[in-house]
């Protein structure tokens, strides 16, 4: 007699689907915020989207076997999602190299405003990281149960 499993046997397509959604989340966020017309207007965005999806796909693949890697990937993705969405909501643009250079150069002016948002941003990062970790755990369950 076989013991009952707590988790149902995942379908064979589950791990690739989890990795694909994790890898495409930044492309989907940009498309939802700016619309798909931005990809038509600026063809370089398509190349950037493919590069982003491939990079995050490579980050997500080892997360199926290692809790530490899964936590690091979830935390990195959560920080980027929260910071990009907060910056986009306030300024209507994304964080790029010019924004980072300006932040470093004018840190004394930016620090007071940023420090007032820090507790809220930290809380949002924790919530999003927990969701990302849970999502990546679905691929771990699939990898654990596969032969």
pLDDT in tens, 91-117: 888 888 999 999 999 999 989 988 999
Report the predicted TM-score, pTM, of the whole model to 2 decimal places.
Answer: 0.80
Q: Is 30 within a domain?
A: yes
Rounded to 5°, the CA angle 87-26-118 comes to 35
Please tell me the distance from the alpha carbon of residue 105 to that of residue 114, in angstroms, as a whole number.
15
List pLDDT tens digits, range 45-95.
Answer: 889 999 999 999 999 888 777 889 999 999 999 999 999 999 999 988 888
Q: Is 5 within a domain?
A: no
Cα–Cα distance list, 136 to 51, 64, 71 (Å): 20, 7, 9
**What pLDDT sits at residue 10?**
58
Per the structure, the count of domains in the chain is 1
Q: What is the residue-averaged pLDDT of the chain?
A: 85
Q: Is 27 within a domain?
A: yes
Q: Is 8 within a domain?
A: no
List pLDDT tens digits, range 22-48.
Answer: 999 999 998 888 888 888 888 888 899
The conformational region for residue 42 under phi > 0 = left, psi -120 to 50 = alpha, else beta, is beta
**What pLDDT sits at residue 38?**
80
Q: Is 7 within a domain?
A: no
Q: Is 3 within a domain?
A: no
Q: Is 71 within a domain?
A: yes
Q: Which domain holds residue 89?
A: 14-145
């Amino acid at each position: 007699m076989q013991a009952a499993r707590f988790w149902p046997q995942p379908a064979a397509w589950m791990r690739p689907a989890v990795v694909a959604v994790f890898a495409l989340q930044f492309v989907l966020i940009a498309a939802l915020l700016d619309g798909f017309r931005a990809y038509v207007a600026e063809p370089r965005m398509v190349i950037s989207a493919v590069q982003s999806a491939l990079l995050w796909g490579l980050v997500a693949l080892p997360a199926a076997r290692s809790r530490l890697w899964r936590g690091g990937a979830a935390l990195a993705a959560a920080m980027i999602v929260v910071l990009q969405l907060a910056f986009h909501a306030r300024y209507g643009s994304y964080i790029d190299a010019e924004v980072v250079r300006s932040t470093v150069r004018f840190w004394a002016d930016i620090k007071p405003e940023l420090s007032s948002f820090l507790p809220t941003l930290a809380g949002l990062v924790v919530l999003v990281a927990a969701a990302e970790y849970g999502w990546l755990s679905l691929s771990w369950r699939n990898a654990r149960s596969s032969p």
